[in-house]
Chains A and B, each alone.
Chain A
Amino acid sequence: MTEYYTRMGDGKRVSMTKEQIMADLQAGTADAADMGEIPALSSAEMEQLFEIIADKNRIVGVEPGHEVVLTYDIGQLDFTGDNGNSGNGVDMGRLESALLHERALGADTFELAHADYSIKPVKPIIANEMQTMEEIQNEIVAPYFYGAMPNMGLYYAPDGPYGNPADLLREFKMEESMASSEAASEHLARDIEYVSTRIIQAGADGFNFDTTASAGDADFVGTLKGVEALRKACPDAYINVGMAGESVMGIHGGMEYDGKIVAGMYPHQQVKVAEKAGADVFGPVCNTNTSKSLAWNLARSVTFIKECVKVASIPCHVNMGMGVGGIPMCETAPIDAVTRCNKAMVEIAHVDGI
């Protein structure tokens, strides 16, 4: 029986028969449909996914004319960072990195980022970031944003002024835990407004909120309120809200935005509140399960993202990297898996960008 070369979610090489791949595609889409209460992929779409996975070429792509916008997060850190934060350990300046992405790597947009890639540590050095932004804008042609994670975890002890909800819950201090989340959320919104409005005033073409809701529902609400404030202060700013995970964790459980509890929201629900807050682009995420096959993960991701694109009124640029979008969770994601997942997202989920 013919076997096809494919991957597990941790990147391990495996061979599977068509029957095995189809069974995993079925199980993956069924899991997403069940969790998100959304439609599963059709038989024709799963057959199309199988063809993409079983392609004999190491690298696959879309037909000419079907290309989508490509942009990058984490700014210059993908060159300068070490292996601990997804970088290549190649030292270079921020200007050089930006120009390399624009002129050599074909990035349609790019961004400036702080070494910690978080809102909070940018506050005390905002003047330096504003100056760098202005200098690079004088050289670069592609839209050049500022990028940072809301990363509300930095507002909790021991890094910040508010009690850590995980510690408080362990001590059965539910009310204190929830109050701490609410206070941190408000603080985050204020900091987002401070950082983002200044960097836009320095000439940034937009702001990329990366890994939103990584600290749960209060992080998401704080970011949405920050986006609201930025939209009000800078009506023409291009705002991208990208997520941390497929579901918003309920660390508080009762935080609302636009009258809706945000905990437990899946991509097709997240995009609607991002729109309401004033985002121009939404970056949906679906997480990879390292114990399942590429087929299972990809079918599941495409199911979630397809529904998100379907209901969205703004463009969706899906997050595609290690551990998301069906791509295996390993430091340097294998190119065979990366290109298959991207092709599937464009051709079946119909994303507007990657």
Chain B
Amino acid sequence: MSKEQILADLKTSVETWNIKLAQDATNAAINEGISIGEIIGDGLGKGMEVVGERFDKAEIFLPQVVAASKTMEAALKILEPLMSKGEGALKGTVVMATVEGDIHEIGKNVCCAMLRGAGYNVIDLGCDVTAQDFIDAGDENEAQVLGGSALMTTTLEAQRELVQAVKEVEAPYKCIFGGAPCSQAWCDEIGADGYSETANEIITLVDKLVS
């Protein structure tokens, strides 16, 4: 099988959340000597990009994004022993949660799935999470980024509190935010490191922050 066909199969496997195809194509890629960077970047990752675009257009929905993420993880599991040797290791660790006082987490769950699919170790703390719990999870997992979602104008303030808490303890984490009432202007005002309007955009944002 040609390299192009294997990369195409990797992409298709994530797009169609076909775990068997993902595993077969990943093994074929290893046997053909394709680099881990190419397997993830030009194969699996391209599929996740399509998934993100289709979700943005409401062509697929939450379970399908999670299924694509699970497919990606199945492939990454095969690559893990090779990754630990250096090349293609997970891109970083992101602590994700809905901020204190807010229990809405559908959007955050999609972002988690997208980030996992993009090759990040995601620590999902759930909803109604205090700033201190964000920081504790960041410390325990050696995270680079803390991502806080808020769906209500009344809980936006908790995003500001997270930024302040990180600054107070002089932690190295980049703070990024999203959610319906959140905006770039708000993130600028509270001194956040980034804003993501959609689940698809979060990958580019985190890539930029951890590079």
A251 at the interface (CB under 8 A from B): yes
B198 at the interface (CB under 8 A from A): no
Q: A172-B70, A247-B58, A264-B58 are in contact. Are A166 and B106 (CB under 8 A)?
A: yes
B124 at the interface (CB under 8 A from A): yes
What does the 1/0 interface line of A164-181 toward B look like (CB < 8 Å)? 001001101010011000
Contact across chains for B181 and A291 when beta carbons are under 8 A apart:
yes
Give A170 to B113 CA distance when docked, in angstroms.
9
Stretch of B8-16, B44-52, B60-68, B79-87 with 4 or more beta carbons under 8 angstroms from chain A:
B60-68
Q: How many residues of B contact A (CB 8 A)?
A: 23
Q: A249-B106, A291-B186 are in contact. Are A174 and B63 (CB under 8 A)?
A: yes
Contact across chains for B181 and A253 when beta carbons are under 8 A apart:
no
Q: How many residues of A contact B (CB 8 A)?
A: 23
Contact across chains for B61 and A263 when beta carbons are under 8 A apart:
yes
Contact across chains for A166 and B61 when beta carbons are under 8 A apart:
no
Q: A10-B153, A264-B58 are in contact. Are A291 and B183 (CB under 8 A)?
A: yes
Contact across chains for B181 and A169 when beta carbons are under 8 A apart:
no
Determine the residue in chain A with the shortest Cβ distance to B126: A170
27 cross-chain CB contacts under 8 A: A166-B106, A169-B63, A169-B66, A169-B109, A170-B112, A170-B124, A172-B70, A174-B63, A174-B67, A174-B70, A177-B63, A178-B63, A250-B58, A250-B60, A250-B61, A250-B62, A250-B63, A251-B62, A251-B63, A253-B60, A253-B61, A253-B62, A253-B63, A263-B58, A290-B180, A291-B185, A291-B186
Report B's interface with A, CB cutoff 8 A. 58-64, 66-67, 70, 105-106, 109, 112, 124, 126, 153, 180-183, 185-186
Identify the 4 closest CB pairs spanning chains A and B, nearest first: A250-B61, A264-B58, A253-B61, A291-B183
A329 at the interface (CB under 8 A from B): yes
Residues in A neighbouring B153, C-beta threshold 8 A: 10, 290, 329
Residues in A neighbouring B106, C-beta threshold 8 A: 166, 249, 251
Give A169 to B106 CA distance when docked, in angstroms.
10
Residues in B neighbouring A231, C-beta threshold 8 A: none
Residues in A neighbouring B186, C-beta threshold 8 A: 291
Residues in A neighbouring B58, C-beta threshold 8 A: 35, 247, 250, 263-264
Contact across chains for A10 and B109 when beta carbons are under 8 A apart:
no
Residues in B neighbouring A340, C-beta threshold 8 A: none
A252 at the interface (CB under 8 A from B): yes
Residues in B neighbouring A264, C-beta threshold 8 A: 58-59, 61
Q: A10-B153, A174-B67 are in contact. Are A290 and B181 (CB under 8 A)?
A: yes
